[in-house]
Amino acid sequence: MAEHNKLGELGEKMALDFLIKNGYAIQEKNWRFQKAEIDLIAQKDETLVCVEVKTRSTEQFGDPQDFIDSKKIKLLVKAMNHYVESNDLDVEVRFDIIAIIHNKYKTNLEHIEDAFLYFD
């Protein structure tokens, strides 16, 4: 497996552990709909949370969350709409990003709630 794939899997595991530790119930991992894949779907109280996990070994080329573009956002929104409708859920939906920098010197995990409010 390529190193970037291993790093991505490690990041998703770190994000999963972080969410569980902070009271989220994990509903789905790597849930797919058409061309979209939602890394994690979690629930906390009455809020269903779509979590995009971005892991990088360095911030040299920008923060991990900077690698999510409007096309990706549209795919995630469409996928979450389908998930909610197909499961006949009556919940608030939120889109979060967990951005991770992980290398042999440090690990930094940032949980950005309502992340797509900040994208244009």
Query: Where do the domains of the chain lie?
Result: 3-118
pLDDT digit string, tens, across residues 7-53: 788 899 999 999 999 999 999 999 999 999 999 999 999 999 999 99
Largest CA distance in the chain: 45
Q: How many DSSP H helices and E strands does the chain contain?
A: 2, 5
Q: How far apart (Å, rounded) are the C-alpha atoms in residues 57 and 73?
A: 23
- The H-or-E segment that residue 39 falls in is strand 36-44
CATH architecture of 3-118: 3-Layer(aba) Sandwich (3.40)
Percent of the chain scoring above 90 in pLDDT = 65
* H helix intervals, the chain: 3-21, 70-86
**Which residue's structure tokens are 């009556």?**
90
Whether the model pTM is above 0.85: yes
pLDDT digit string, tens, across residues 53-92: 998 887 777 677 877 888 999 999 999 999 999 999 999 9
2 confidence band (pLDDT: 50, 70, 90):
low
Q: How far apart (Å, rounded) are the C-alpha atoms in residues 63 and 66?
A: 5
Query: Pick from 10, 1, 118: which is nearest to 63 by CA?
Result: 118
